[in-house]
A and B are shown apart, each in its own frame.
Chain A
Amino acid sequence: MQNVYLIRKLVINIFNKKKLLSYTLCIFLTLFLILLSILCVIKYTILNKEYVKQQLNSSNYYTDLYNIIQDGFNNYILQSGFDNKILDNIITISSITDDVNNLIDSLFAGSIVNISTSIVQDTLHANIENFISEHNYIVDDETSSNIKIFEDSIIDVYINNIVYSENIVNTISTFMPKVQKLFTIAIIALVVLSIVLAILVFILNKASLGISLVSSGLLLIFSHFYSYINIAINNILILNKAFSTFVSHILNIILNNLFIIGIVGLIIGLIIIILASSTVFKNRKMLTD
C-alpha cells in the first residue's frame, strides 16, 4: 500500500509541469557537467605541457627511453665488428630529457619538430675514429661507406626512439594550438551554459540541481568502472615500453580524476537533495496553514 502511494506520488511529482521542465533541463545540465568534467581533465592533463613533462618524469619515461635506445644501439653493434666502447657518452639521460622536452615544446607551440643530432653524431664519429686507430684498421672506400651506413643507422635509432614518426608529430603539432584554443572556448561556453542552466533548474526546483549532480556523479563513476572492466589499461602496448607505460599512466590519471570528480559531484548532489528535501515540510506546512 505504502509502495503504491509512493509510486503515485512519484508520478504526480514528475508530471507536475514545473518539475517536468526542471527534470528536462536536468538531463541537459547532467550532460554539460559530464562534458565539462571530461574537457577540464583533458585540458589540465594531456593538453598541459608542464603536466605532461612532469608525468613523463614520474613514469620514468626518460630512463626507460635511455635503456631502449641503448638496446637499439647494441643491436647494431653485434654485427658491426665494433665493440660497445664506441657507444660511450654518445647519449645520456639528461640529453634525452632535453631532446624530449624540446620535442614537447615544439609540439605544443605548433612549430616544426627538429631534433639536433650533431652531438650524438660527432661523439660517435670520434669514438669510431679512436677504435680504428686503436685497432690499426685500414679503412678503404667500402669500409668507409659501411661505417657511414652504421653511423646513420645509430642516428636513425636515436631519432626514431625520440620522435617515433616525424610526419605524425609534425601533423599533431600543426593541430595542437587549434585544439588547445578549441578546448578553452568549449570549456568557457560549457561553464556559462551550465551556470545558466543551474540557475534555471534551481529556480524551478531546488532539488533538481542535486539530481543533476548525482546523475553526473553516477555516470562518471560508472564510466570509470566500465573502462577498467573493459579495457586492459595497464597492459597497453604502443611503440615501446617507455611510451606504453606513459600512456597507461596518463590514462589512469584521467580516469581517476574523473572518478574523484564523480564522487565529489555525488556527495554535493546528495547534500543539495537533503537540504532541498528538508524544506518540503516547511512549504507544505505553510500551504496547510
Chain B
Amino acid sequence: MKKQNNAKIKKWYMIKAIIINLIIAFVITLIILFTVSTIFGNKVSLAIDLVNMVSVNADTKIISEIKFDEINNTLETYPEYGSRYANIKIDSLNIDLPLYYGDKLSILKNGIGQSSGGYFPGENGSIICMGHNTKSFLYALPQIKKDAIIEINASYGNFSYKVYDTKIVNMYNTDKLPIQKNEEILMLYTCYPVTGIGHKTDRFVVYAKRVFN
C-alpha cells in the first residue's frame, strides 16, 4: 500500500515538474518573441514586404476582360504585362498580327509589342507599337502608303488609324516617338532596313492618326 502510494506521489511530482518546466519554456519563448517583435518588428515586416515584392503570386488572376471608361477615355482595368489583348491589322499589306502589352524581346517573338510608356487605344494619346522586320512580322511595313488604314481590334473596342507620315530614325532618337495626351497617334515601327544582315540601328516608323467611322 505504502509502495503504491509512493509510486503515485512520485508520478504526480514528476508530471507536475514536467508541466511547470514546459510552462516556463513557453513563457521564455513568448518573452523572446515579444522582445524580438518589439525591437525588430518593423524591420522584419519590411524585409517580408521586400521579399514579397519579388514574389509573383501564382494565384494572380489574369484580367481577361479589360474595362474602358468612355467618359474619361481611359482604361479602368489594364491588361497584364506580356499578355495579348488585341490584334493589329493592315489590310493593304496583308498584315494581321497579335498585339501584346509590353516591349520585351521575349514578347516580340510572338507578335507586335506595345510600349508600356505610351497610352492604350482609345485613351487619346501616343500609342507606341513595334515588331520584328522578319517576313512573319513587319517585313512589308516600309511599303506602306499614306492614308493606309491600320486597325487595332481590342477586346474592349475597335480602333482605326490613318497613316499620315513615315520616317527612318536612329534607334537612339527617341524624340521621334513623342509621348503626349492631346491626340491619339499610333506609332508603329520595325528595324530598318528589313533586308541585310547584322544588328540594325535604324527604325522605320509609321505615324497614323485615329479616324472615326
Q: Identify the A interface with B (CB < 8 A).
A: 6, 9-10, 13-14, 23, 26-27, 30-31, 71-72, 74-76, 78-82, 128, 131-132, 137, 143-150, 153, 207, 210-212, 214-215, 218-219, 222, 230-238, 269, 273-274, 276-278, 280-281, 284
Q: Which of A145, A207, A234 has the most CB of B within 10 A?
A: A207
Q: Give the docked Cα–Cα distance between A239 and B66 (Å).
A: 29
Q: Give the docked Cα–Cα distance between A79 and B20 (Å).
A: 75
Q: Give the docked Cα–Cα distance between A145 and B54 (Å).
A: 39
Cβ contacts A to B, 27 pairs, < 8 Å: A6-B19, A10-B24, A14-B24, A27-B31, A72-B105, A78-B132, A79-B133, A79-B134, A79-B200, A80-B198, A81-B195, A81-B197, A143-B198, A145-B198, A146-B196, A146-B198, A149-B201, A150-B197, A207-B17, A210-B25, A214-B25, A218-B26, A233-B55, A235-B58, A273-B21, A273-B25, A277-B21
Chain B residues with CB under 8 Å of A215's CB are 25, 28-29, 32
Q: Is the interface of B mostly helix, strand, loop or mixed?
A: helix
Q: Is the interface of A mostly helix, strand, loop or mixed?
A: helix
Q: Give the docked Cα–Cα distance between A75 and B137 (Å).
A: 13
Q: Give the docked Cα–Cα distance between A210 and B108 (Å).
A: 62
- B167 contacts chain A at the CB level, 8 A cutoff: no
Q: Identify the B interface with A (CB < 8 A).
A: 9-10, 13-26, 28-29, 31-33, 48, 51-52, 54-58, 105-106, 108-109, 132-134, 137, 191, 195-201
**Complex A-B, nearest 5 residue pairs according to Cβ-Cβ distance, in ascending order:** A146-B198, A75-B105, A277-B17, A232-B55, A149-B199
Shortest distance between the CB of A230 and any CB in chain B (Å): 5
Contact of B17 among A144, A235, A280 (CB under 8 A): A280
Shortest distance between the CB of B59 and any CB in chain A (Å): 9
Q: Which of A75, A143, A237 has the most CB of B within 10 A?
A: A75
Contact of A218 among B10, B25, B197 (CB under 8 A): B25
Shortest distance between the CB of B137 and any CB in chain A (Å): 8
